[in-house]
Structure 1
Amino acid sequence: MDSGSIRRKFLEFFEKKGHTIVPSAPLVLKNDPTLLFTNSGMVQFKDYFLGNAQPKSRRVADTQKCLRVSGKHNDLEEVGIDTYHHTMFEMLGNWSFGDYFKKEAIAWSWELLTEEYKLPKDRLYVTVFEGDAKENLPFDQDAYNFWKEHIAEDHILRGNKKDNFWEMGETGPCGPCSEIHVDLRSEEEVQKLPGKELVNQSHPQVIEIWNNVFMEFNRKADKSLERLPAQHVDTGMGFERLCMAIQKKTSNYDTDVFTPLLSFIGQAAGVTYKDSEKTDIAMRVIADHVRAVAFAIADGQLPSNTGAGYVIRRILRRAVRYGFTFLNFKEPFIYKLVPVLGNQLKDVFPELESQKEYVGKVIFEEETSFLRTLEKGLKRLDAIQAELKGQVISGPLAFELYDTFGFPIDLTSLIARERGLSVDEDGFKAEMEKQKSRSKADAAKETGDWITVGTDVKPEFIGYDNLEADVRIVRYRKIKQKNKELFQLVFDRTPFYAESGGQVGDTGYIESVNEKVYIHDTRKENELIVHFAETLPENLQASFHAQVDRQKRQLSMDNHSATHLLHAALRQVLGKHVEQKGSLVNDRMLRFDFSHFAAMTAEEIQKVEQIVNQKIRENIALDERRNVPIDDAKKLGAMALFGEKYGDFVRVITFDPKFSVELCGGTHVPATGQIGLCKIVSESSVAAGVRRIEAITADEAERYVTESLGLLDQVRELLKNPKDLLASAKGLLEEKHALEKKLEAFQQEQANQLKDKLASRAQQVNGYHLILEKVSVPSADALKNIAYGLRNQFDDLLLVLAADVEGKPQVAVMLGEKLAGTNRYHAGNMVKELAREIGGGGGGQPFFATAGGKNLDGLDAVLEKARKLIQ
């Protein structure tokens, strides 16, 4: 059974059991501050477990793209070394939100694995939670009893809290779980040692394939557990491991999930998989990592130096390092795998196939950049080796190679061994710990538990139609970041827009009879709308009047609507390949990132700006449609962005159905005329294949034009109000250029005269021509030209010039070719000594060196010291 059939069978099985099949959420999370990436199938359903939102269906199933490279679930260093850990993987899952529980979940798991997938019953083992006395958690007797209905008791094992109590993170939904393991060893090995002895012992052929989590608790910030409002089922089956079991392979990488990638890599490298452990590991690393990087980019996350972008860059660089070191990939290669991967998964994850050119371009540029960095790192390693007094590269130096050039300790150790050196790995680990401690201190954030006030209800956003409202606080919590205490408030309803879709959150205040509390930010946390305040209201039970900052909201709306017009204009001018890759909208400006592979010309920028302002002047009325079925929205021509998670019903924003139709949750002007004016102020590159436009509208645009015209008036006045300002400016530049040429010729003539004068004053001393003089020259270049001119004249020259260069002291030492060959003098060493007299430093070649300084009065002392050095 191929991997596609295995996936389809899972989804069809649970569809027959009354489950709604839902699409995968994006890898990159937008509104969850606790996670950078979707690391399990349950992440997109977290609010259902917590009771913050109601699911549209109480039974769902899916295959979810997951990424585990940071935080609690971090498998990165194992990936490629073993054959069953991955960065990105698929998790097949079935879910019950307050519907069925342990009995049905266990029965269906057994039915699917043994009757549909035909896995041998005697090779399956299950674990149940043994309980935990410290937390007063009992043995999961129910799960044990339900399993006894299907499997022999000696195949039911008790598992500890580490293995059989599943927690998403430090806080959040959790509960006891029941894992299913399969023994894939040969019959001979099974006879020697029963599989139950190897469960959870990291054996590569006795592996966990499915985990049934019974969500019953919520882990609070103080580490205590509270009961969830309802009991849920959250299951996750590793797709890659399941394929290994069904296809009777000994490794995930032997399945058809990975073989197309491994075959492509092997052909390019001229090696065969399973020829060598070193090349096998490198091939596995690349095959795994390209999946994580490609899908993250397709979902909207570009590699960068911070946050989620840094994680993606780190994964890609790890793949490049392995290819560079073990497969001799000295040129970009990984980007070539994107079409292979896109074609392989186009039926289940079409987003990559649709963007393969763009994703490949981003990866190519990242590879190119890092390969250059690797070359610099190798040169630095050469320098370190030259300076070593022993045979050990110190911990701080190894850390410098890691931190500055991206060399992991294993790469540094490998190269060191090849050169007969070793690395102080303990010292390296100590430096790493120091960095981690600094990072933790910088990012330290303590988040308290939510405290309910009165009746807790799901907050209602009313900010599309209202900028003020009477509200009540339904929950709050305290957070502490960088020693600053803040409070997060949730209201029963709110006019405050929460940061989303690039638009920043609203600010304003809430006010009761006795107090006023300022709201300085509003953000989303999954389904919650969270308001940030520096103080906590004294009377939490009071009724408050909430007021949004009207001017800030208005200006933000101007910029957001202008962004939609800009997007449409870019597609009109540059082509339909233009798609939004990110945006920022606030009350001061708009920033719009879009896919395009070349810098825009001045004419293209001007054309886009003209179209946008034409649409503004047309005063097009906003057509806002709420709760539109997603399929109907697409029929209207609304653009759906990759990397965004859309529900069954969406909001459609239209400014002329033939021009701009977009899915958007942001706030917008009632008609485009309100924007007033849009002015593009910059166009630049953000990453490979991604350009960025920054623009201003309304008040800022008016201010910009006023200041620009004012500056132009000042320039015109300085030029005596010429009729043709441009011609006048060009004339001035031409005149300046002509005068510079005359000055240059005059200075050259002066330098030639000075050279001749110095030559006439050369003294013959001990068989060479000696010139020691204090001079005044217009530039350092003039000083250098004089020195070389005298060297051409005297092959036995010894020249020391103490120069005043436009009020700054300089020293030049020059040796003629004949004298330099005797090694009697060294210009570089001499100039270092002489530079001390002018309070500076310098250096150069053995025959010519220069130095600069601060003390102009020290020039006479330079000549005096030079005489002593020569003697």
Structure 2
Amino acid sequence: MKSQDVRKHFLDFFESKGHLIVPSAPIVLKDDPTLMFNNSGMAQFKEYFLGNATPKSNRIADTQKCLRVSGKHNDLEDVGFDTYHHTMFEMLGNWSFGNYFKKEAINWAWELLTEVYKIPKENLYVSVFEGSVEENVPFDQEAWDIWKGLIDEDRIILGNKKDNFWEMGDQGPCGPCSEIHVDLRNQVEKNAVSGKSLVNNDHPQVVEIWNNVFMEFNRKADGSLEKLPAKHVDTGMGFERLCMALQGKTSNYDTDVFTPLIEKLEQITEFKYVNNNVTSSAAEEKINIAMRVVVDHVRAVAFAIADGQLPSNTGAGYVIRRILRRAIRYGFTFLNTKEPFVHQLVAVLANQMGAFFPEIKSQQQLVTNVIREEEASFLRTLDQGLQLLDKVINDEKGKIVAGTKAFELYDTFGFPIDLTALILREKGLELDEAGFAVAMQEQKNRSRAASEVSTEDWSVLIPGSEETFVGYDKSENEVKITRIRKIDSKKDGILYQIVLDNTPFYPEGGGQVGDRGVLVSANETIEIIDTKKENNLILHFAKQLPENLNAKFIAKVDSDLLALTSSNHSATHLMHQALRSVLGTHVEQKGSLVNPKYLRFDFSHFAKLTEIELQHVEDFVNTRIQEQLPLIERRDIPFAQAVQEGAMALFGEKYGDSVRAIKFGESMELCGGIHVKNTADIWHFKIVSEGAVAAGIRRIEAITSDAVKAHFASYESTLNDVKLALKNPQDVLKAVHSIQEENIKLSKQIEALIKDKVKNLKVSLTTEIQEINSVRFLAKQVDLSPEGAKDLAYELGNLGDNLFLVLATVNTDVSGDKPMLTCYISKELVAEKNLNAGQVVRELGKFIQGGGGGQAFFATAGGKNLNGISEALEKAIEYVK
């Protein structure tokens, strides 16, 4: 059964059981601060399990793109070494929100697996929660009894809390679960060892394929459990493992989910992947591992980029970059790929999965470009790391390289530790792995301490209250507090999260920052320092709680900040329209930040914008501002209708069935943010910078309103200062041009004087050259610029062979006087005496508290200690003695 059919049969089956089929949420989460990525099928439904929202149907089924590379669920380091762990995977799931429970979930699971997919019953084992005395949760008798009616009792396994009690996190909904495992071994192996003994023991052919979670408890902050008001079903079946079982394979990588990618990788690298059923040598297994890493990781990276997460140095972007670099490194080390290659797999992936996940097809070119540029960048880093590692090796006196040095390469330059260890072994050296582990753990401890957060349970003041957002119509409103929660983080200290029955405060989202303001009662004022959304609750952050939580309050948004933010947000819509008009309709928004100070807008485009193009964009937006276009806002319109009418929907965003559309003239976008009532309120639009973010992604930063006024005032002030410095000329531009022309003339004169000085010094220094061990040697401080010292070195070098020359100069710039060393070594000395100018300046540079490098015959080093010049020149003679 082809993988596309496996997916279709699952969704068709549950649709026949009255389930609403919903699309996968983006792999990158943008509205859940507790998760970087969608790491399970239930992540997009958390708000329903928590009771903070009502689902459109109480029976839902889907296949969800998942990514497990950080936090509690982290499979990254397992990927490649076994045949069933993945970073990105699909989770097939069916859900009941207070509707059916164990009987239906278990019976349908059995029906689908054995009657639709026709997996032999004798290949299946199931597990049931054995109960927990410490949790005061009994043995799951109901599940046991249901399974007894479907499967032989000796195929039912009792599972402990670790294996058969599923939790969303340290707090939140949880409950016992019933797993289904499949035994894919051949008959000889089954006769020799019972599959029952191999369940949950990491056997590659006895694997869990489906987990049925029966959510009936809530885990509180103190660790205790309380009953949920309704019982829910949350199931997850690994799509890749299911395909392995249905296609008669013993490895996920032998299924048609991965074989097209592996075949393309074989073409690129000219290495062969040895099928898992064939015994492979140690060398072949290294190639197999590398290939599994690459084809797994390209899926994770490609779908993350398609959903809007670019590789970067922080947060989720850093995780994506790390995954990609792991793939590049395995290719570099084991598949001999010294040029970018991973991006060539994107076309195969798009053809393979584009029908069901259209985002990978529509974003194919962008994904390809970003990955190719990231590959090129990291290969340059690897090359730089190899040079730095060579220096570490050359500096090493013993046979063991310090773990701290290896960690510096890893932490600062991203140089993989296992590649460091491999190269050291080839050089006959060892790595202090314990020292590296200590340095790594110290960094993790620092990172963990910085991000550590403790969260108390919610104190519910008004049970059953439904929260309403009124910020589209009001900036202040009478409110009541419905629930509060205390959080304590190393970063921000103690804060309180306050939920209101209705609120004018906009929570951070869609690029727009959260509102600030105050809660005012008859007796006190509480400052709201930020507003965010979590699991469909709008959280107002405060440093203190009101004394009387039951009082009536007026919630007031800081209207001045909101006006500036609204101006910038509306300007992003107009700029998006302008970019598509000026550059072409290939332009798509790839990220934004809207705050009171400025706006930042990332978009897809292949080249740097010219000054003329930037001016056209500015003019386009300012024309729309001058036209005084009114805001046309449409709420609760069907998503399909809004798109059909021309509204732009952004890739990577999660839209509901009903959406809100914002329109200014011909600009129409789906948006949940706050906007000006008329484009005239923006006042003026000014671009302040444009640059690259990644391959095919550009970034514009711009300002509006008061910031533009301040910008123009600053320019006027600067112009007045320039006039004053030029003694108030009538024509400032003419005066500047005159100075530039005079500077060119003076520079030419100085250049001629330096050449004369070099010629004179060449004559005088020739007499100072000593001969030591058949080497012509000179170490001298000269009164020249660094460029003059270079010219002098070459002039002296042309006078004869076997010259070893070190010149010291003092370079003066705005930051002060700085010493510099220039080393020239005749090429015959480089060849015959094994002298190297780069190594010389690195050693001598230590005396001037600096460093440098260059070629074997010519190199320079800069420093900051003028007093070290004489000692550096004295030490130079030791190289030729």
The alignment's TM-score, normalised by the length of structure 1, stands at: 0.92
* 1:754 CA drift (Å): 5.7
Q: Summarize the alignment of residues 636-651 of structure 1 with structure 2, pairs less than 5 Å apart.
A: 636-651=645-660
Equivalent of 1:317, from 322, 325, 333? 325
Q: d(CA) in 1 for partners of 2:122 and 2:672? A: 53
Contact 1:495–1:546 (Cα < 8 Å) also in 2: yes
Distance 1:3 1:567, change over 3 A: same
* 1:723 CA drift (Å): 6.3
Q: d(CA) in 1 for partners of 2:151 and 2:133? A: 28
Residue of structure 1 in register with 2:57 after alignment: 57
Q: d(CA) in 2 for partners of 1:542 and 1:486? A: 20
Distance 1:333 1:791, change over 3 A: closer
* 1:217 CA drift (Å): 1.3
* 1:347 CA drift (Å): 1.7
Q: d(CA) in 2 for partners of 1:828 and 1:288? A: 42
1:225 partnered with 2:233? no
Q: Summarize the alignment of residues 612-691 of structure 1 with structure 2, pairs less than 5 Å apart.
A: 612-656=621-665, 659-691=666-698
Residue of structure 2 in register with 1:512 after alignment: 521
Contact 1:399–1:431 (Cα < 8 Å) also in 2: yes
Contact 1:130–1:159 (Cα < 8 Å) also in 2: yes
Distance 1:764 1:113, change over 3 A: closer
Q: d(CA) in 2 for partners of 1:841 and 1:412? A: 26
Residue of structure 2 in register with 1:350 after alignment: 358
1:69 partnered with 2:69? yes
Residue of structure 1 in register with 2:119 after alignment: 119
Q: d(CA) in 2 for partners of 1:151 and 1:699? A: 72
* 1:406 CA drift (Å): 3.2
Q: d(CA) in 2 for partners of 1:383 and 1:770? A: 28
Q: d(CA) in 2 for partners of 1:80 and 1:143? A: 35
Q: d(CA) in 2 for partners of 1:434 and 1:811? A: 37
Contact 2:784–2:809 (Cα < 8 Å) also in 1: no
Equivalent of 1:294, from 299, 302, 308? 302
Q: d(CA) in 2 for partners of 1:690 and 1:669? A: 28
Q: d(CA) in 1 for partners of 2:166 and 2:711? A: 56
Residue of structure 1 in register with 2:130 after alignment: 130
1:546 partnered with 2:555? yes
Equivalent of 2:594, from 585, 590, 605? 585
Residues 109-129 of structure 1 deviation map (CA, whole Å, 9 limit, x = unaligned):
111111111111122111110
Q: Which amino acid aligns with 2:752?
A: A
Residue of structure 1 in register with 2:8 after alignment: 8
Residue of structure 2 in register with 1:709 after alignment: 716
Q: d(CA) in 2 for partners of 1:833 and 1:254? A: 54
1:392 partnered with 2:400? yes
Q: Summarize the alignment of residues 138-153 of structure 1 with structure 2, pairs less than 5 Å apart.
A: 138-153=138-153
Q: Which amino acid aligns with 1:596?
A: H
Equivalent of 1:480, from 463, 473, 488? 488
* 1:596 CA drift (Å): 0.7
Contact 1:498–1:504 (Cα < 8 Å) also in 2: yes
Residue of structure 1 in register with 2:170 after alignment: 170
Residue of structure 2 in register with 1:86 after alignment: 86
1:492 partnered with 2:501? yes
* 1:728 CA drift (Å): 4.0
Q: d(CA) in 2 for partners of 1:578 and 1:261? A: 29
Residue of structure 2 in register with 1:744 after alignment: 751
Residues 706-730 of structure 1 deviation map (CA, whole Å, 9 limit, x = unaligned):
2213323443455566665444432
* 1:192 CA drift (Å): 2.2
Q: Summarize the alignment of residues 161-240 of structure 1 with structure 2, pairs less than 5 Å apart.
A: 161-240=161-240
1:699 partnered with 2:711? no
Distance 1:223 1:847, change over 3 A: closer
Equivalent of 1:537, from 538, 543, 546? 546
Q: Summarize the alignment of residues 404-483 of structure 1 with structure 2, pairs less than 5 Å apart.
A: 404-482=412-490
* 1:677 CA drift (Å): 0.2
Q: Which amino acid aligns with 1:93?
A: G
Residue of structure 2 in register with 1:108 after alignment: 108
Q: Which amino acid aligns with 2:581?
A: Q
Distance 1:558 1:118, change over 3 A: same
Q: Which amino acid aligns with 2:544?
A: T
Q: d(CA) in 1 for partners of 2:615 and 2:524? A: 51
SS of the aligned residue for 1:696 comes to: strand
Q: d(CA) in 1 for partners of 2:335 and 2:772? A: 62
Q: Which amino acid aligns with 2:550?
A: Q
Contact 1:683–1:691 (Cα < 8 Å) also in 2: yes
Residues 157-204 of structure 1 deviation map (CA, whole Å, 9 limit, x = unaligned):
111111100112222221100011111111222222222121111111
Residue of structure 1 in register with 2:616 after alignment: 607
Contact 1:768–1:798 (Cα < 8 Å) also in 2: no
Contact 2:781–2:808 (Cα < 8 Å) also in 1: yes
Q: d(CA) in 2 for partners of 1:328 and 1:851? A: 37
Q: d(CA) in 2 for partners of 1:313 and 1:826? A: 37
Larger radius of gyration: 1
Deviates more, 1:142-151 or 1:89-98: 142-151
Residue of structure 1 in register with 2:277 after alignment: none
Q: Which amino acid aligns with 2:179?
A: E
Contact 1:41–1:236 (Cα < 8 Å) also in 2: yes
Q: Which amino acid aligns with 2:488?
A: K
Distance 1:534 1:200, change over 3 A: same
Stretches of structure 1 lacking an aligned partner (at least 5 in a row): none
Q: d(CA) in 2 for partners of 1:826 and 1:311? A: 40
Q: Which amino acid aligns with 2:66?
A: C
Residues 725-770 of structure 1 deviation map (CA, whole Å, 9 limit, x = unaligned):
44443232122101221233234435545655667x8699999999
The alignment's TM-score, normalised by the length of structure 2, stands at: 0.91
1:285 partnered with 2:293? yes
* 1:820 CA drift (Å): 8.7
Residue of structure 2 in register with 1:564 after alignment: 573
Stretches of structure 2 lacking an aligned partner (at least 5 in a row): 275-279
Q: d(CA) in 1 for partners of 2:820 and 2:270? A: 58
Q: Which amino acid aligns with 1:687?
A: A
Equivalent of 2:742, from 721, 735, 739? 735
* 1:397 CA drift (Å): 3.1
* 1:805 CA drift (Å): 7.5
* 1:800 CA drift (Å): 9.6
Contact 2:808–2:869 (Cα < 8 Å) also in 1: no
Residues 809-843 of structure 1 deviation map (CA, whole Å, 9 limit, x = unaligned):
979899998999999x999999999999x987899
Q: d(CA) in 1 for partners of 2:663 and 2:441? A: 53
Distance 1:646 1:846, change over 3 A: closer
Contact 2:825–2:837 (Cα < 8 Å) also in 1: no
Deviates more, 1:692-701 or 1:312-321: 312-321
Aligned residue pairs total 865
Q: d(CA) in 1 for partners of 2:586 and 2:208? A: 43
SS of the aligned residue for 1:272 comes to: coil
SS of the aligned residue for 1:777 comes to: coil
Contact 1:811–1:831 (Cα < 8 Å) also in 2: no
